[in-house]
Structure 1
Amino acid sequence: MKARYITPAVTVMGKDGTIDFEGCGKVYEHLIEGGVDGILLLGSIGEFFALTMEQKKDLIRFAVDKIAHRTQLIVGTTSMVFEELLALSRFAGEEGADAIILLPPYYFPLSPEGLETYYARIAEALPEQSIYLYNFPDRTGYDLTPEITLRLVRKYRNIVGYKDTQAGMDHTRELIKLVKGEFPAFEVYSGFDDNFAHNVLAGGDGCIAGLSNLVPGLCHAWTEAFAREDLVEAAAIQQKIDLLMEIYQVGTPFIPYIKEAMAIKGIIGSAASSLPFPEADPGDSEKIRGILKKAGLL
């Protein structure tokens, strides 16, 4: 079974909230050496919402140069300012990114008709770019449905895939059946690591999920286990991932705690995140160390 694991990379920051480009470069090398199938820049875990347009451009330019097409690079270009979204999307394409990924507008939900029109306008304005749709109802407040997605894919061949960040698999499973049933090459990814195996078994393409920042080699091994149809190995990795999923529960939002786990492992030098996100306190760090020990990573 063919499966892919794409990492939504963290954005390494200094205590003052500036981007640590050297630290980001080390993360990209860590991911590529670990064998991930792609890197998503400026996703939710990459704190796109806290960066200025110029910071985003600087990071895109740096990442394209650093990654140098050694793995797929997808760039998140979501913005509530439509012209900024288009400008950043075009910039990413001109710099050499392979694709872009876009959340629906948030704060005010759109009607189903309005949401379909929104993505249609984007697809028409960016005909040369590969576009991934990004569904995250916990953050946007509403759903990008399989039915809307199918209508868009029928019209716009530059809409090539979908990241579905939901705790369960019901919605993703329907998306796989409805859209991939008609367009088998359309890519459907889960947004939580523990859904990887279910996604692949249901006919999806794998995950775009955050734990691969911490254990890219383990996530790559999972894809290889499915390629060999080695369900014993796949089950063993599932159980280790299930342990590591506890990191997401240490605090809210989860981003500083993923970074803290990476800092404990020596992957990054600073676990700082953008304000107003909290820092992991000593008790949080101890919980994370306990999780890593249970998973055999310390």
Structure 2
Amino acid sequence: MDVPELVIDVRGITKSFGGKVVVNGLDMQVRRGEIYGFLGPNGSGKTTFIRMLCGLLRPDAGEGTCLGLDVLTEAARIKEQVGYMSQRFSLYEDLTVLENLDFTARMYGLADRRAAVERIVERMGLGRYGKHLAGKLSGGWKQRLALASCILHEPRLLLLDEPTAGVDPGARRDFWDQVHVLAGEGVTALISTHYMDEAERCHRLAYIAYGDLLARGGMEDLIRDSGLTTYTVSGPGLHELARELGGRPGVDQVAAFGLSLHVSGRDQAALETALASLRDGAHTVEAVPTSLEEVFIDLMRRGRPQ
């Protein structure tokens, strides 16, 4: 079937468990070939939302489409056409790499399983590990095998739930390089992550906190709309200074970065007043661009339940 320009187009998606709202009226539109980052603290509803999109859970309310199919009435057809990768390695650890991929090909009913498996093995560089038990692979190669299984049936949408948790930086970079190649081929990806360097590699981002969507847009948009001003402070006694600054009006967050502090606040005038006494020769105070991490820490604190 032809995939529409808006691969995900949902409005008001809501889900509750035991009377607790886990996803609260969430809207999302994701375009074809887009890498869309989905961020938020643990327990904020990211996994639940992803599972509703791929047909594993039915929303309590809301409407919309995924791959042009109704998320309420055509969930079975959606499941067949997405690649879903969960937080935990979900393949069979007592099967070899090739056996896992062949099993996945069988599950999707691929006509020429052998050819499909050979293609994905070559694409993902898994050839030398073909006869290795999946459970014996390193974290990075398990991740690569999981992604190979996820894209074996050539889906046009990937739903990836914290896919790089627990793997080393090199493996994470390799993974993201693969995702960008797939995006260049027109594959759309919705990816939840806690890593800010990964968030910066997404085309657009959404931040959800405890069921509520608090912000969305490109990285530059989110930084601008946060209203945060940030200064770096260097000099003596930074440990004690960090505690002192945290209690001053206008200071919303203080974080140590190597041999300096990053101090951020939404009230620029009050923040500058809080830092004025540090312009004493012993310390250096300089304005710096606000980072994405500072934006999301601010959102997390503001979105935390009372």
Structure 1 and Structure 2 fold alike (TM over 0.5): no
Q: If the length of structure 1 is used for normalisation, what is the TM-score?
A: 0.40
- Structure of higher CA gyration radius: 2
Q: If the length of structure 2 is used for normalisation, what is the TM-score?
A: 0.40
Q: Which has the higher strand share?
A: 2
Q: Which has the higher helix share?
A: 1
